[in-house]
Chains A and B, each alone.
Chain A
């Protein structure tokens, strides 16, 4: 047998042997390391419920606009044109976004979108949906449904965000020439909409 200090055949003597094997760990040290790994890893995973809990505290973000129980965060450059208890109209360079709070148990998402689509047809004749319905979840963990539409000279989107006690109906309309400049804002404002769980004071 050859010990750690004896050189192998054909190798020089006096060479310091590098320590081999894994990092020396006792079971106790390994357990502590495992707990720390879980703390960091699961801590990151638990940020999502923490964020939702923060939402549940009904914090309205700075700069937000409230329409009924719906909270909209206007993107940069969007101005509140009119606002009443249950609705708000935001505009920017010819584009407009209307959010209406409709209290009560909401209908099925398809029905809600169809109703909103019919209303949009009256305002924008010839509007046709494209790309299908995209489902999303808002920061307040409410399900939302969005559909883009286009008409001659006009492009936009309709969406609903539903909670058990009401829904926010959103209608965004923009001239086709400027839609590409505001489309990101519109999508951000729609998917970032929050629904409050208590009466606004």
Chain B
């Protein structure tokens, strides 16, 4: 081990060990409060899971595995939103445990209590119609939101952008969502229904139909509001409070709308279009803005190098959000193939790591990121270049829509439209560049879309 490396690591370790007691001492009361709530809540949740496994020795464990696996890609998706700086693993685990065991356990009794109070005061008819809409958002959003606050207070590093708040909120929500799915599946099995069909139906209903615009989205919105409040010290206090209140109000309102019989009172595609998609779209729009705010925290550090070998102005601009990063990778792929796209991806990663390291004063991290950056720069420079191919992304979309069109005719028509527009644009772009070509995917997508529409037309004419 070289003296230089040893010398660089020593202060980091010393800081870590010396920082722990101070953090622990100042957080002791909060840790104690979390422990008390865990003691109250966890037995309630675990009792439901225990009963499920005991009453259904085969379907019970499979239920736990299915819903557990369901959470994995969603968790990965949530974590990728924070491109620059990942949350520590233990904080993500705490958020999951809070959502899955503490918030769920407390909400189980609170929900039935609120429903009971509503029945006593307002009658069964009112409670049947509005009970879930009132009890669900009120208890659950409050308890999940509390988890986000607890995680923010216990975090070993403070939030740097609203995206950090979103990550914590969405992970708490995901934990809650998965355990609630298990509880609901257990409830259906307890009514005497066939356990396998109960699991399948609940997976379709709660996992597929309701999964993408459920608790993770609601609590993610609250986390985003909290994130804005905590990372904008220059804002007046009233505006910070308003950000938190707005986050909670958005979460509560969307949850209320989903649970209530308002507008759409049926479990089909109308529910998704009217109540589900708007929630997801609202979150995506806010996230796009928050990601730009996240980039604005770190990218000035890259610009300060004023060195195009570290990052050119165009590369810094392309790091701003997911779409611009994707666009840069697509351009690299158009001329350098898959290897070009991979090298571009690693270059972006190294630039982002360098920006974080410089912004946080991590000299060792900065040195490592610069080394990685130099390697990727070298690799990109030595890749064989070929003429660009235009229309790949539109082509992929037209194929996806074309395949969908084999089942839903409207989607097939959409696929044809995307393919034709893509072809026109790609041909125009290719004509302006020597040696460039149009992606074959556009033709495949067009063919699939046309086949889908024709098949449906034939079937319609025969039944007609």
Contact = CB atoms under 8 A, between A and B. Distances in A.
A2 B7 CA distance: 12
Given A14-B304, A51-B117, A33 B29 contact: yes
Nearest to B124: A73
- Contact-residue bracket for chain B: 35 or more
A8 B33 contact: no
Contacts of A62: 121-123, 126
A47 B110 contact: yes
Contacts of A26: 26
Contacts of A48: 109-110, 112-113
A45 B109 contact: yes
B143 A44 contact: yes
A21 interface: yes
A26 B30 CA distance: 12
Contacts of A13: 304
Interface string A32-62: 0111011011101101101100110001011
B121 to A, nearest CB: 7
Contact of B153 (A15, A23, A74): A23
B158 interface: yes
A23 B192 contact: no
Contact of B146 (A18, A27, A37, A47): A37
B277 interface: no
Nearest to A8: B363
Interface string A128-153: 00110010000100000000100000
Given A41-B146, A76-B128, A10 B370 contact: yes
B125 interface: yes
Given A23-B155, A27-B25, A63-B124, A139 B119 contact: yes
Given A34-B30, A62-B123, A4 B361 contact: yes
B125 A25 contact: no
Interface in B3-46: 11, 19, 23, 25-30, 32-34, 36-37, 40-41
Contacts of B26: 22, 25-27, 30
Contact of A30 (B11, B27, B123): B27
A50 B149 contact: no
B434 interface: no
Interface in A77-126: none
B106 interface: yes
Given A10-B366, A54-B120, A45 B41 contact: yes
Given A8-B362, A18-B359, A54 B30 contact: no
Contact of B155 (A17, A22, A130): A22
A90 to B, nearest CB: 12
Contacts of A21: 19, 156-158
Contacts of A23: 152-153, 155, 158, 230
A192 interface: yes
Contact of B117 (A22, A30, A50, A134): A50
B30 A45 contact: no
A164 to B, nearest CB: 21
Interface bin, chain A:
35 or more
B305 A37 contact: no
Contact of B121 (A12, A59, A130): A59
Contacts of A44: 106-107, 109-110, 139, 142-143
B366 A8 contact: yes
B192 A63 contact: no
Nearest to B354: A11
A18 to B, nearest CB: 5
A77 B143 CA distance: 36
A63 B146 contact: no
A63 B118 CA distance: 13
Contacts of A38: 33, 36-37
A9 B367 CA distance: 8
B360 A9 contact: no
Interface string B131-155: 0000000010011001001101111
Interface string B322-366: 000000000000000000000000000000000001111111001
B37 A27 contact: no
A15 B124 CA distance: 63
A17 B112 CA distance: 49
A12 B306 CA distance: 9
Contacts of A61: 119-124
A35 B146 CA distance: 12
Contacts of B142: 40, 44
Contacts of A33: 29-30, 33, 153
Interface string B296-314: 0100110011100000000
A64 interface: yes
Nearest to B117: A51
Contacts of B109: 44-45, 47-48
A177 interface: no
Nearest to B192: A131
Interface string B162-196: 00000000000000000000000000001110000
B114 interface: yes
A75 to B, nearest CB: 7
Interface string B366-384: 1100100000000000000
24 contacts: A1-B11, A4-B361, A8-B358, A8-B361, A8-B362, A10-B367, A14-B304, A15-B358, A18-B359, A23-B152, A30-B26, A33-B153, A38-B33, A42-B36, A42-B37, A44-B106, A47-B139, A54-B116, A54-B120, A61-B120, A63-B125, A74-B124, A192-B119, A192-B124
Interface of A: 1-2, 4, 7-23, 25-27, 30-31, 33-35, 37-38, 40-42, 44-45, 47-48, 50-51, 54-55, 59, 61-64, 73-76, 130-131, 134, 139, 148, 187-188, 192
Q: Lowest 4 CB-CB distances: which A-B pairs, in order?
A: A8-B363, A34-B29, A73-B124, A62-B123
